Amino acid sequence: MRHGAARATIPGVDKTHARTVLSRLHAAQNAMYAGGDAEPLRALLTDEIEWHVPGDNAIAGDYRGADQVLDYFARRRAVAAGSFRLHPGELLVGDGDRVAMLVDGTATIAGADRSWSTVGLYRIAGERIAACWLLPLDPVAFDAVWS
């Protein structure tokens, strides 16, 4: 942008709305990870959902479409034997339809209690999640948890 050039204003997602949508998502994920039904979670995802998980581990990959994303969630549940829980934290909103939230995770994997921290960069479409890019704060530790 040139010095002095006006920046186009792009309306952002309202923080209260973003927190509500993400709270529903995380609650539905936690319920599903504890053995609950995946259908309430599916209802919170757009049909074209994208979910991106970096790293060199058992859950890394790019998942597209509700079926692939739900299969990914089911794989996380299986690896963690139903012990996986999300612990949402601070929320950052700005211009446009993307928001960022700090989310910690805990699970017992292969008998060991594990924890990690991520930033989830979400794209919100109305009342649903259209995309997520997971960004581990310590990628090496994240890979170790999920390998």
Q: Using one digit for the tens of pLDDT, what is the confidence trace for 70-106?
A: 999 999 999 999 999 999 999 999 888 999 999 999 9
Check residue 91 and report its DSSP letter: E
Q: Using one digit for the tens of pLDDT, what is the confidence trace for 15-71?
A: 999 999 999 999 999 999 999 999 999 999 999 999 999 999 999 999 999 999 999
- C-alpha–C-alpha distance, residues 143 and 136, integer Å: 9
Tokens for 109? Answer: 């994997």
- C-alpha–C-alpha distance, residues 68 and 87, integer Å: 23
CB 124 within 8 A of CB 21: yes
Structural domains in the chain? 15-146 (3.10.450.50)
Strand 45-53 relative to strand 128-136, pairing = parallel
- Output the DSSP codes for 81-147: TT--EEEEEEEEE-SBTEEEEEEEEEEEETTEEEEEEEEEEEEEETTEEEEEEEEESSHHHHHHHH-
